[in-house]
Structure 1
Amino acid sequence: MMETSNMETIYQHIAYILNAMIPEDWEKVLLYAEMREGYGQVFFYFYPLGSNIPVYSLDIVDQYIVDSRNFGSLEDQLFDCCEQLWNEFHQQEQEQWTCFTYILKHTGEMKIQYNLKYS
């Protein structure tokens, strides 16, 4: 049986970090993480409130007035959370996922999908 309380805490921390990284009110966030031994990447898109045009996370510093050091620190924290989630599967003796999709709505509703094989 997989212990989920650690995972729930990580999901909540991811939501907190995403909210801190996005410099305006938003409708929905789509985060994608890919992890393997010795490799990882994390990025996201968000939809500003009332817009159907997504903003790519790597464009935030260029498009908005944000503190780039603080933003970089939050990016590192986001990566660390995804890596903790990846490691949690190993600690729970579950097959580690390779790709993780996390969809968060401004209402707090979230949808999570794991892909276990890299294609």
Structure 2
Amino acid sequence: MELKLNNIYQKVADNLKEMIQEDWRDIYLYAEVGEGSQTTYFFYYPKGSDEPIYSHDIPELFEVSEQSYLVLLDKQLECFRELLDVFIENKQEIWTSLNLHLGHDGKFEIDYGYEDILTVDPYEQQVIWEYKYLGIISEDEYDKKIIKKFLS
């Protein structure tokens, strides 16, 4: 199992490196794969910058075709589906989401979530995730209310 997991983690890292068009120092990624829901997005910090770049902005920022980007994004989701299959095959507790931090030095941390993702609003989930993992607080009043509710 460990060998399979390591191979998948390597594929995820390689795919992220292919998606990012500049030198970076840290990547923070969220993914969910399950019945009725699958998504992935990430933020990365370019070397020498404290401003994170949102993964879905890559096509516009780097003049990458939307189609090429979506192919890479689908490859990423495929890796996470494969990862989930390894858990199922080895009778491990089935996760519904994961958070991954990848440093430029190759070190990574991965945390699995087990919440019922179908009961969570995807927009609210992302606002909270950005706050928890990146410290981002939007100027939008609705987003501020989401974070305030989360903190209480």
Residue 48 of structure 2 corresponds to residue 50 of structure 1 = yes
**Distance apart, 1:53 and its partner CA:** 0.6
CA distance in 2, matches of 1:36, 1:81: 13
Partner residue, 1:112: 110
Unaligned runs of 5+ in 2: 118-152
Is 2:26 the partner of 1:36?
no
Q: Does 1:80 align with 2:78?
A: yes
Note the residue ranges of structure 1 that are not aligned, 5 or more in a row: none
Query: What is the match of residue 93 of structure 2?
Result: 95
| Partner SS, residue 96 of structure 1 | coil
**Deviating more after overlay: 33-42 vs 98-107:** 33-42
Q: 1:65 maps to which residue?
A: 63
Q: CA deviation at 1:38?
A: 3.1
Higher relative contact order (CA closer than 8 Å, sequence separation 6+): 1
What is the CA-CA distance between 1:114 and the residue it aligns to? Answer: 0.7
Query: So what's the TM-score if we normalise by structure 1?
Result: 0.92
2:2, 2:114 → 1: CA distance? 18
Which structure: greater strand fraction? 1
Larger radius of gyration between Structure 1 and Structure 2: 2
Counterpart amino acid of 2:95?
W
TM-score by length of 2: 0.73
Structure with the bigger percentage of helix: 2
**Paired letter, 2:60:** D
Give distance in 2, aligned partners of 1:38 and 1:88. 19
Query: How well do the aligned residues superpose, as a CA RMSD in angstroms?
Result: 1.2
Residues of 2 paired with 1:62 and 1:73: CA distance?
16
Q: Percent identity?
A: 35
Distance 2:103 2:47 in 1: 11
Q: Which residue matches 1:4?
A: 2
Q: Distance in 1 between matches of 2:94 and 2:85?
A: 8
